[in-house]
Amino acid sequence: MNSTTALERIAAQAAQSSGKPVNRVDGRKKVMGEARYAGEFFADGMTYGFALPSRIATGRIVSIEAARALELPGVLMVLTHENRPNMPLHDDAYKDQSAPGGMPFRPLWDDRIWYSGQPVALVIAESHELARHAASLIDVTYERTDHRTDFREAEADAYPPSTEKGGFEPPPAPRGDADAALMAAPVSIDQRYSTPAEYHNPIELHGCTVIPEPSGKFTVYEKTQGVLNTKQYLMKVFGFADDELEVISPFVGGAFGSGLRPQYHLPLAVMAARDLKRPVRVVLTRQQMFTFAHRPMSLQRVALAANKDGKLQAVIHEAVSETSQYEDYCDVMVNWAGQLYACDNVRLDYKVSKLDVPTPADMRAPGAAQALFPLEMAMDELAESLAIDPLKLRLINYAERDGNKNLPFSSKALRECFEEGAARFGWENRPLAPRSMREDNELIGWGVATGIWDAMQNEASARAEITADGRVIVGSATADIGTGTYTAMSQLAADAVGVPLEAVDFRLGDSRLSKAPLEGGSWTVSSVGSAVHAAGVRLCGKVVALAREHGGAAFASALPEAVRIDGDHVACGDGAEERLPLGELMKRAGLDTIDAQVTVTPHDKQQSYSMGTHSAVFVEARVDEALGAVRVTRVVSAVAAGRIVNPKTAASQVSGGVVWGISMALHENGQFDHELGRQMNHNLSEYHVPVNADVHDIDVIFVDEHDDIVNPLGAKGVGEIGVVGVAAAVANAIWHATGKRVRDLPITLDKLFA
């Protein structure tokens, strides 16, 4: 079966089949404690590392005295910039697949301090507790220099990131004259908004276990969203040959961007394991989780103008966000404004400012999560000025084409999202004026916002194999960060091969498996899923061909579509069926197993379309009039994401995104002491996130949407879309409840009372 035929069959089967809300295939392992994470693998002679953080924000290390630490029985090593192994000099050796432009961070490279919390030493001991205690005995003398961590002070020095350094695509060129249209329009709003630094806090701490083997090979168990990315990074940095290194990551306890890049614990652990020739485990503390990946702070201006009927005349979105001193990290923040609404006059601009902080990183819906907050809040402010229902205003300005690219959408069921979400929520009963609804001492408000995220597909490969007893083994070197990848891929493989879900064993998180992209961007089902399904189709085709060749007269004369796999047999015919054991078929064909390897790449026709996932978010917020306490009591999220492979896990993803959006709106805020240049609330006691009492009813609707352009499966992915727009909908609901606009996240009671 050639690849064209396989892809045609994928499309046909995807169009005919509907997703089933099955339980997670890996669920039992997780609840029974059988799932093993990066810091839970063990080997004889295990040692433990603790990274000592810098106490200053910028400057240099004058001296490091480690004698007291090394005197402790059981302390094996203290690695510093003075005794680390020789490392490559050129920056490219340290760049991974998701690295932004600039110089990648190299732990223990030299005496320079870039940010507070930067690792300055690694202690290796025979227990984690001993390593941590020994680190406290190390005396580091610093020479401090002036630092800058106040983002508002740095805004004046913002600059457009260089496209030559990589990692950044400039905003679309202006269309029309947005500034003139803004001045001429009868109704306009022009406001500034801000979002704080937010920090990745998955339950599983970042860590790894590095095991050297007698043969010279290294096995690395790492918390990562891409085992191949991790392997390539380590091969470049340490000079491993391909067959000298294996990276394994079967389970990840949450990541959503923090695991895209190798973090500093990984090269430190490999350094120590190579030197000691013993297994090394390094797991960061919760405080150290605040010393690398985070969503960058942003300052944004949104200006909108409309005629008296509500038709947009101008859209201006300008943003500045933070980056580190050594890399140009850029979220795509302003593009969405030019894509989401129809307008002839649009100007978008984006800059970054350098701070003495670690490089930010992708965090669930990077760019869109921050940018949709001011854009969708500004749409509400414009609706208020026009005395138009905010949902009606969005429909008046509905974009039938992507204005940035001047391309049609491959599919866009956003109107249906608005319609079905509004009906479920009861939006028609919303009074236009704020402070119109209350119950006892609580003011009640209803808010709405639009969500959008790119639908993307990357090249991916998968291998499928069927054994004599009818077991189907499928593998691809992707990841499961808690999103349900094991389950969705098993479903797609079962559907393609024609076997029960229980007969499928899907394998991931191993660098020996078929190539797969990083798990991020909501493209895993689109990319890896397409490859898995294609491999299953090809495998099924091989079984059918072998049955017709070696199965006897009945199979030889049967139409190919009449031959199928039935448990550990192949069968054909209606009524009185002809059946042949798979093992016998393989024996006749001289095979132990039957396998198929497939690589699926994006189709050229995708270039002629804009592809995206859309949502409509409706929120009810209640605000205690006396205390200012906010409760988000009801959320309806209506999502158009093409084919939904598993509605149960997909709804879970969207619900999790909604919780994250509530957290963004009301809770999360990295707070700095600018005298020290250090984040002060680097723990889960003072860095606030929602708890059970903060989350009430969340209703997820998947709107029917067919798309045969976005990928062979017609699936767009839902990892990101759940969070986008939620913070804006919450802010809009709070305004409707109180009449108070809070344009700086998070919305806390002090701001409501200001």
Predicted pLDDT of residue 164: 63
5 falls in which pLDDT band (50, 70, 90)? very low
Determine the Cα–Cα distance for residues 19 and 1; give it in Å rounded to an integer: 26
Residue 574, pLDDT > 90, answer: no
Residue 569 β-bridge partners: 566, 581
- Is the separation of the CB atoms in 461 and 515 below 8 Å? yes
Predicted pLDDT of residue 14: 42
Place of tokens 């908004």: 193
Residue 298, pLDDT > 90, answer: yes
Predicted pLDDT of residue 166: 57
Identify the three-state secondary structure at position 120. strand
Of 222, 578, 668, 720, the active-site residue reads 720
Reported residue count of the chain is 754
Determine the Cα–Cα distance for residues 75 and 131; give it in Å rounded to an integer: 7
What is the secondary structure of 550-600 as a DSSP string?
Answer: HS-HHHHHS-GGG-EEETTEEEESSSS-EEEEHHHHHHHHT-S-EEEEEEE
573 falls in which pLDDT band (50, 70, 90)? confident
pLDDT tens per residue across span 394-433:
999 999 999 999 999 999 999 999 999 999 999 999 999 9
Determine the Cα–Cα distance for residues 427 and 394; give it in Å rounded to an integer: 14
Predicted pLDDT of residue 729: 99
Domains, in order of start, for the chain: 3-35+458-601 (3.30.365.10), 410-456+605-754 (3.30.365.10)
How many helices (H) and strands (E) in the chain?
20, 34
197 falls in which pLDDT band (50, 70, 90)? very high
- In the chain, the amino acid numbered 451 is G
Buried b (16+ CB within 10 A) or exposed e, 721-750: bbbbbbbbbbbbbbbbbbebbbbebbbbee
Rounded to an integer, the average pLDDT of 378-395 is 98
Residue 93 burial (C-beta neighbours within 10 Å; 0-12, 13-18, 19+) = middle
pLDDT tens per residue across span 118-161:
999 999 999 999 999 999 999 999 999 999 999 999 999 999 98
Closest alpha carbon to 681 in 273, 331, 290: 290
Rounded to an integer, the average pLDDT of 361-390 is 97
Residue 386, pLDDT > 80, answer: yes
Predicted pLDDT of residue 162: 72
Predicted pLDDT of residue 754: 84
Predicted pLDDT of residue 1: 35
- Among the residue ranges 136-150, 163-177, 212-226, 300-314, the one predicted with the least confidence is 163-177
Determine the Cα–Cα distance for residues 450 and 376; give it in Å rounded to an integer: 7
Confidence (pTM): 0.95
Closest alpha carbon to 268 in 109, 115, 128: 109
Predicted pLDDT of residue 19: 82
Residue 167, pLDDT > 80, answer: no
188 falls in which pLDDT band (50, 70, 90)? very high
Across the chain, mean pLDDT equals 95
- Is the separation of the CB atoms in 377 and 192 below 8 Å? no
Residue 16, pLDDT > 70, answer: no
Contacts for 168 with CB less than 8 Å, ≥ 6 apart: 100, 101, 161, 162, 328, 330
Does residue 577 have an active-site annotation?
no
Closest alpha carbon to 297 in 596, 679, 722, 721: 679
Rounded to an integer, the average pLDDT of 595-613 is 97
Predicted pLDDT of residue 3: 39
Predicted pLDDT of residue 7: 41
Closest alpha carbon to 470 in 581, 558, 385: 581
pLDDT tens per residue across span 637-682:
999 999 999 999 999 999 999 999 999 999 999 999 999 999 999 9
pLDDT tens per residue across span 319-332:
999 999 999 999 98
Determine the Cα–Cα distance for residues 564 and 579; give it in Å rounded to an integer: 10
Place of tokens 């619900």: 655
**The dihedral formed by the CA atoms of 13, 18, 21 and 26, expressed in degrees to the nearest 10:** 10
4 falls in which pLDDT band (50, 70, 90)? very low
Place of tokens 């024996």: 587
